[in-house]
């Protein structure tokens, strides 16, 4: 698994949750040798689905991402960005 597959994992999970999968945008913001950070943007009406009650859905996505990244010997983080 590489950084592209990590991004693909996020994309697959998030697009499965939202009503507007065409408005899902994932951007790798920074990547070091052992760390990578992603920003996720979704439609305004899908924010609740992605974040979940008390952030449980977002934290679950982060956990999946961390497990996949750990298999590569990396650390990963995911920021959910408010839509404009």
Domains defined along the chain, listed by start: 3-81 (3.30.300.20)
What's the pTM value of the predicted model, to 2 decimals? 0.88
Whether the per-residue pLDDT at 52 is higher than 90: the answer is yes
The owner of tokens 């609740």 is 48
Whole-number pLDDT of residue 10: 95
Kindly give, in sequence order, each residue whose CB lies less than 8 Å from that of residue 68, ignoring residues fewer than 6 positions away.
1, 5, 6, 9, 76
Whole-number pLDDT of residue 83: 80
Whether the per-residue pLDDT at 3 is higher than 70: the answer is no
Are 38 and 29 in contact by the 8 Å Cβ rule? The answer is yes
Burial status of residue 69 (CB atoms within 10 A of its CB: 0-12, 13-18, 19 or more): buried
**How much of the chain is in helix, strand and coil states, percent to nearest 5?**
50, 25, 25
């Amino acid at each position: 698994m590489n950084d592209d597959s990590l991004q693909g994992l996020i994309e697959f999970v998030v697009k499965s949750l939202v009503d507007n999968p065409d408005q899902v945008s994932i951007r790798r913001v920074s990547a070091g040798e052992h760390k990578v950070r992603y920003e996720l943007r979704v439609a305004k009406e899908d924010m609740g689905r992605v974040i979940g009650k008390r952030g449980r859905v977002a934290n679950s996505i982060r956990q999946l991402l961390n497990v996949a990244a750990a298999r590569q010997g990396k650390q990963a983080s995911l920021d959910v960005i408010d839509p404009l």
